[in-house]
Chain A
Amino acid sequence: MNYDNDWFLSVLTFTPLVGALVMMLIPKADEALHKAIALAVSGGLFLFGTFYMLTEFDFDNSGAMQFNFDTNWINVINSRYIVGVDGMALPLILLTLLVVPLCVIYSWDHFPEPANPKAFLILILILETGMIGTFVAEDLILFFVFFEVVLLPMFFMIAVWGGPDRRYASLKFFLFTLFGSALMILAFLSLFFLAEDPSGVALRTFDIQALTEWGGANLTRSAGLLIFGGMFMGFGIKVPMFPFHTWLPDAHTQAPTVGSVILAAVLLKLGTYGFIRIAIPILPQAAVEWAPWIGLLAVIGIIYGALGCLAQTDMKRLIAFSSVSHMGFVMLGIATLTTFGINAAVFGMVAHGLITGILFFVAGSVKDRYHTLEIERLGGLLLQAPRMGWILGFATMASLGLPGLAGFWGEFPAILSAYNPANGVSETIFRTYMVIAAVGTVLAAGYLLWLLQRTAFGEPSEEFANDPEIVDASRFEYVAWAPMLVLIVVLGIFPNLIFKTSDPAVEKSLHPCLSAEGEEFIALDCPAVFGVEVAGG
């Protein structure tokens, strides 16, 4: 591997942190300066990062790690500071770079109570560092650290700027994730100690690429399954997968708008990213055996999330439950262990980020105006704030997986891939999942359109009919939303923007035995687990 020690990713990761430190030194009263710095840092980073990556990233070789940097970090445990980007991480990094400045802009003139823009913006910038860091980390410990860095700012964002039940929600969010990551770190450590090359020499490394090359060879079955299980808990809770999802609706409902947006747009992806970057490439054999269970939880999530949505009376909570359902599709794609499924998952992550982000933005703006999100009391948004209403309509359409918009490309290929999962994964089981997932799309349409009907259609209720506060989207809202709306359409029409980038990386991350057929399969001398159908894991 060519480590050319590129400074770029480190700059990308730590610039927000530097910005945050600078802001800490500036007195709280100087709000305008704080906003300017936050916007300059995040926006500048977006422009610079996007430009640099789009021009310098070698898209023809997007399966390879690029912009690598590799240096000593914690010598005693042989953990290194390795960062790099490939086609799987790139879309997610760009998404992060985009979402953060939009959140800053959105907050510009209405910070949630109790205001304090300084602290709020500092948290957002720290979050950005954590999120980018997670996506670029190529060392398990580094990944873990960044994975956790994200928790603190989000915890405070919910706990301080959240809704009435914020104390409960913030802690729940924190505890759940920490529980998962504690088991995850155990799994990482087990990998460190158990990974040995065919000659029996221990690898003793946390380097993700090196471990991927090792690919779980000569690890005992039970050890592999347990380690995968540990990572499953860590990533699965973050995704969140049924039945570890209960933190999500609470966190989303209580979080301030921007918090919800970041949570939905990026944070949930850290979990799914973990699966496709770490768990599956490193332990393909265990993944094969886990796949039916992951798939099962994924489809349960799809249906369950949808049913949860149908029961909601609160708009934001409904959107939160819809995340459970949508991330179910992503996980279903991942569980198939096929390029198709995982590409769909990568796409689904970006699409869900944009779409649910927009939905939360709109919900936040509705709350600003109506001071409630109770669906019963809303209605007639299209009459009172037509543009917002249309944007909501657009977002619901995108969210229900309308082809031509981004959501479709996360959903359909995921369902499709379930028809024909990887070698060793039961076709019968996954085809059943496929049908259930397809039913999930109907439910998705049901709850989303029902939401749209009850909030946007009809006449406004008397309570709000003549409320002067209810105005259409403001400048800041437009600016914050427009890029996401445009991207939803553009990605829907040109899916190859992401597929072509992610595909080589996804292919590289999957063990060749997962897809090999016939003679190739024999030539690779694949372990038995890839050959036989493992019914029910």
Chain B
Amino acid sequence: MDFTALAGLPVADVVAFTRPAIDWHAVAPELILLGFGALLTLIDVIFLDRAKQYTAALAGVGLLATMVPILTLANDISETGPRVMFDGAFVVDEFALIMKAVFILSGYVVILLSTNYIGEGDYWESEYYGLMLSSILGMVVMASSRDLISIFVAFELLSIPSYMLATWKKRSLESNEAGLKYYLMGVFASAIMLYGMSLLFGVSGETILTKVNASLTSDPLTGDALSSSTPILTLGIIFVIVGFAFKVSAAPFHSWAPDTYSGAPIPVTAFLAVASKIAGFVALVQLVFVGFYARADVFQPLMWILAAASMIIGNLVALRQTDIVRLMAYSGVAQAGFILAPLAVAGDVGDQALSSIVSYLAIYAAMNLGAFAVILAAARKTGSTSIESMNGLFSYAPGLAVAMTIFMFALAGIPPLGGWFAKFQIFFAVVEQGGTWAILLGVLLAVNSVIALYYYAAVARRIWADEAPNGDLTPIRIPASLSAALVLTVVATLVFGFLPGSISQFTDVGLIAGG
């Protein structure tokens, strides 16, 4: 069979491979992470158990080391502008850098959370950090990916290690089940996403997002300008978005999240609920703002529906939860709805929508990680994650109680705690658009923040107003790393709340479409 004939390609067009220019500074964060990841795996293989006590620290150092090129890059691009590689498939711009920083720092906090939990558990340790770093590497790559293929690869790079992390407690049926569900749904979603990508590729003939976007405005067959979407385009866009909607646990693609969260080890849950979810949003943002921006008539209603459904379903089901981790899962669904909301107006108020999402993600990372840190700390004593186990926390662990209160109300969006500004930015974007549907979404947001408060405040109330179970008032011993994580998250949550400028000056970013 004449392959070239089938492909319709003139043989002469197949040019010799030339190595594309590589901007080493721009990929330095990825390389450092890769290095540390490999190093951890090697150490594990070579030293086995003997390296146990160093691995966590090494992982932490690796993450912090990664911050160095991120900072230098930030300094660099503020002078010279964004860096673009591989024909626009890999871009380092403000958005990419702030998100990378968020991933790295979230990852660092997750490592702090994991140190004792994994160390004290009955499981292999070194692999854990190696996998964690690989997953973070995937996220970091994701932040720069502006190409369907690289997004797909980054997506899988961050997902595959996390499937394993979720199944970490090998002998626990719950953990197995959590991993299985996460894995199966993830693979299924990515398969659908890929199908969507294939359709988009088919329509545009391109994988670079900017080029995809450029092709969306005209009919591929006739070349006429498109006044509205074509079914195949719509299907493609929806399938791609569904893949990431799964990742951010937006309803109705959220069903894996509660089960996985409650089965997986708590630090992993925190990782999934924060870093992994943020990665999903990063991908969505890039797709929407770079790849599909011309097709606001498709993604805006889609995002509207997803946002509304997520908020409503997440909040209502959360009202009936008895397990704090599951509660956090559903709250995460609702939070996803909030973060999706600006995307429903992104076609008209792109800048504001983008910066509101970035702000939200950064603040969300701080407060959600903090909440998991407290859950983790409390579970050290109670050994349970039922909401009732939080009863009377204030009476024996006032510090934890105050911290948890701060996180709960921050998540609920009560000023002056961080979450308010995140929510406020969302409102800001939605109102700026000002259309009927936008205002309706705004009202939905408002109503849902009230419903959400109900269960957040209920947790806080248990902590403060109820009696400790069995009157057991022995204090909780909190290891240093966990304390550090708590302090970091509390401070971040408060600072973001009191001085929103501290985060907004970083999140008011431009998203460079690339080459």
Q: Is any CB of A less than 8 Å from a CB of B in the complex?
A: yes
Question: Which of B405, B412, B446 has its CB near the most chain A CB atoms (within 10 A)?
Answer: B446
Chain B residues near A145 (CB-CB < 8 A): 415-416, 420
Known: A148-B414, A148-B415, A185-B427. A74 touches B465 (CB 8 A): no
In whole Å, how far is A267's beta carbon from the nearest beta carbon of chain B?
Answer: 15
* Contact between A149 and B416, CB atoms less than 8 A apart: yes
Sample 28 A-B pairs with CB under 8 A, ordered by A number. Answer: A28-B398, A73-B499, A74-B421, A74-B500, A74-B504, A75-B504, A77-B425, A141-B424, A145-B415, A145-B420, A149-B415, A155-B457, A156-B460, A159-B465, A160-B464, A162-B465, A170-B457, A171-B454, A175-B450, A178-B449, A179-B447, A182-B446, A182-B447, A183-B443, A185-B424, A186-B431, A186-B442, A186-B446
In the complex, whether B428 has a CB less than 8 A from a CB of chain A is: yes
In the complex, whether B505 has a CB less than 8 A from a CB of chain A is: yes
In the complex, whether A252 has a CB less than 8 A from a CB of chain B is: no
Residues 49-82 of chain A, each 1 if its beta carbon lies under 8 Å from chain B, else 0 = 0000000000000000000000011111100000
Task: Select B414's contact among A76, A166, A178, beta carbons within 8 Å.
Answer: A178
Task: Select A178's contact among B421, B450, B460, B508, beta carbons within 8 Å.
Answer: B450
In the complex, whether A390 has a CB less than 8 A from a CB of chain B is: no
Chain B residues near A155 (CB-CB < 8 A): 457, 460
* Contact between A174 and B446, CB atoms less than 8 A apart: no
Residues 474-506 of chain B, each 1 if its beta carbon lies under 8 Å from chain A, else 0 = 000000000000000000000000011100110
CA distance A445 to B494 in the complex (A): 48
In the complex, whether A151 has a CB less than 8 A from a CB of chain B is: yes
| Complex: chain A residue closest to B442, CB-CB | A186
CA distance A136 to B415 in the complex (A): 17
* Contact between A186 and B505, CB atoms less than 8 A apart: no
| Complex: chain B residue closest to A118, CB-CB | B398
* Contact between A182 and B450, CB atoms less than 8 A apart: yes
In the complex, whether A190 has a CB less than 8 A from a CB of chain B is: yes
| Total residues of chain A contacting the partner, CB 8 A | 39
Chain B residues near A178 (CB-CB < 8 A): 412, 414, 449-450, 453
Chain A residues near B447 (CB-CB < 8 A): 179, 182
Known: A76-B355, A175-B453. A148 touches B420 (CB 8 A): yes
In the complex, whether B461 has a CB less than 8 A from a CB of chain A is: yes
Residues 167-178 of chain A, each 1 if its beta carbon lies under 8 Å from chain B, else 0 = 100110011001
Residues 402-432 of chain B, each 1 if its beta carbon lies under 8 Å from chain A, else 0 = 0001000100101110001100110110011
Known: A74-B421, A148-B420, A193-B431. A167 touches B508 (CB 8 A): no
In whole Å, how far is B433's beta carbon from the nearest beta carbon of chain A?
Answer: 9
In the complex, whether A22 has a CB less than 8 A from a CB of chain B is: no
Interface residues of B in 436-454 (CB under 8 A from A): 439, 442-443, 445-447, 449-450, 453-454
In the complex, whether A144 has a CB less than 8 A from a CB of chain B is: yes
CA distance A170 to B453 in the complex (A): 12
Residues 133-155 of chain A, each 1 if its beta carbon lies under 8 Å from chain B, else 0 = 00000000100111111011001
In the complex, whether A471 has a CB less than 8 A from a CB of chain B is: no
* Contact between A171 and B409, CB atoms less than 8 A apart: no
In the complex, whether A189 has a CB less than 8 A from a CB of chain B is: yes
Question: Which of B355, B394, B425, B500 has its CB near the most chain A CB atoms (within 10 A)?
Answer: B500
* Contact between B465 and A167, CB atoms less than 8 A apart: yes
CA distance A516 to B414 in the complex (A): 42
| Complex: chain B residue closest to A185, CB-CB | B427
| Complex: chain B residue closest to A72, CB-CB | B501
Starting from the known contacts A148-B415, A155-B460, A171-B461, 15 additional A-B residue pairs (CB-CB under 8 Å) come to A74-B504, A77-B425, A119-B394, A145-B415, A160-B465, A175-B450, A175-B453, A175-B454, A178-B450, A179-B450, A185-B427, A186-B439, A189-B431, A190-B434, A193-B432
* Contact between A144 and B464, CB atoms less than 8 A apart: no
In the complex, whether B214 has a CB less than 8 A from a CB of chain A is: no
* Contact between A171 and B457, CB atoms less than 8 A apart: yes
Chain A residues near B428 (CB-CB < 8 A): 77, 189, 192
CA distance A512 to B2 in the complex (A): 86
CA distance A144 to B421 in the complex (A): 11
Known: A145-B420, A149-B415, A178-B414. A76 touches B508 (CB 8 A): yes
CA distance A119 to B402 in the complex (A): 10
The 9 closest A-B pairs by CB, nearest first: A182-B446, A189-B431, A145-B415, A148-B415, A76-B504, A179-B450, A159-B465, A74-B500, A160-B464
CA distance A189 to B414 in the complex (A): 17
CA distance A390 to B501 in the complex (A): 54
Residues 416-437 of chain A, each 1 if its beta carbon lies under 8 Å from chain B, else 0 = 0000000000000000000000
| Complex: chain A residue closest to B461, CB-CB | A159
Known: A148-B415, A182-B446. A75 touches B465 (CB 8 A): no
| Total residues of chain B contacting the partner, CB 8 A | 41
In whole Å, how far is A285's beta carbon from the nearest beta carbon of chain B?
Answer: 19
In whole Å, how far is B458's beta carbon from the nearest beta carbon of chain A?
Answer: 7
CA distance A171 to B461 in the complex (A): 9
In whole Å, how far is A16's beta carbon from the nearest beta carbon of chain B?
Answer: 14
Question: Which of A75, A145, A166, A192 has its CB near the most chain B CB atoms (within 10 A)?
Answer: A145
Chain B residues near A152 (CB-CB < 8 A): 405, 409, 414
| Complex: chain A residue closest to B462, CB-CB | A167
Chain B residues near A149 (CB-CB < 8 A): 415-416
Known: A74-B421, A178-B449, A189-B432. A144 touches B454 (CB 8 A): no
Chain B residues near A146 (CB-CB < 8 A): 415
In whole Å, how far is B356's beta carbon from the nearest beta carbon of chain A?
Answer: 9
In whole Å, how far is B158's beta carbon from the nearest beta carbon of chain A?
Answer: 29
Interface residues of B in 272-290 (CB under 8 A from A): none
Chain B residues near A193 (CB-CB < 8 A): 431-432, 434
| Complex: chain A residue closest to B466, CB-CB | A167
CA distance A149 to B499 in the complex (A): 14
CA distance A77 to B421 in the complex (A): 11
CA distance A159 to B505 in the complex (A): 37
| Complex: chain B residue closest to A187, CB-CB | B431
In whole Å, how far is A30's beta carbon from the nearest beta carbon of chain B?
Answer: 14
Task: Select A167's contact among B446, B461, B500, beta carbons within 8 Å.
Answer: B461
| Complex: chain B residue closest to A186, CB-CB | B442
CA distance A74 to B418 in the complex (A): 13
* Contact between A151 and B414, CB atoms less than 8 A apart: yes
Chain B residues near A73 (CB-CB < 8 A): 499-501
Question: Which of A144, A162, A178, A192 has its CB near the most chain B CB atoms (within 10 A)?
Answer: A178
Chain A residues near B439 (CB-CB < 8 A): 186
Chain A residues near B457 (CB-CB < 8 A): 155, 170-171, 174-175
Task: Select B446's contact among A171, A183, A190, beta carbons within 8 Å.
Answer: A183
Interface residues of B in 156-171 (CB under 8 A from A): none
| Complex: chain A residue closest to B402, CB-CB | A24
Task: Select B449's contact among A72, A156, A170, A182, beta carbons within 8 Å.
Answer: A182
Known: A76-B504, A148-B415, A152-B409. A186 touches B465 (CB 8 A): no
* Contact between B420 and A74, CB atoms less than 8 A apart: no
Question: Which of B394, B450, B454, B505 has its CB near the most chain A CB atoms (within 10 A)?
Answer: B450
In whole Å, how far is A442's beta carbon from the nearest beta carbon of chain B?
Answer: 38
In whole Å, how far is B412's beta carbon from the nearest beta carbon of chain A?
Answer: 8
Chain B residues near A162 (CB-CB < 8 A): 465
In whole Å, how far is B245's beta carbon from the nearest beta carbon of chain A?
Answer: 25
CA distance A74 to B500 in the complex (A): 6
* Contact between B453 and A174, CB atoms less than 8 A apart: yes
Task: Select B431's contact among A76, A175, A190, beta carbons within 8 Å.
Answer: A190
Known: A178-B450, A178-B453, A190-B434. A171 touches B458 (CB 8 A): yes
In whole Å, how far is B348's beta carbon from the nearest beta carbon of chain A?
Answer: 12
CA distance A182 to B507 in the complex (A): 23
CA distance A288 to B59 in the complex (A): 64
CA distance A144 to B445 in the complex (A): 17
Chain A residues near B504 (CB-CB < 8 A): 74-77
In whole Å, how far is A468's beta carbon from the nearest beta carbon of chain B?
Answer: 31
CA distance A162 to B434 in the complex (A): 42
In whole Å, how far is A132's beta carbon from the nearest beta carbon of chain B?
Answer: 14
CA distance A156 to B439 in the complex (A): 33
Interface residues of A in 442-478 (CB under 8 A from B): none
Known: A28-B398, A74-B500. A144 touches B415 (CB 8 A): yes
Chain B residues near A74 (CB-CB < 8 A): 421, 500-501, 504
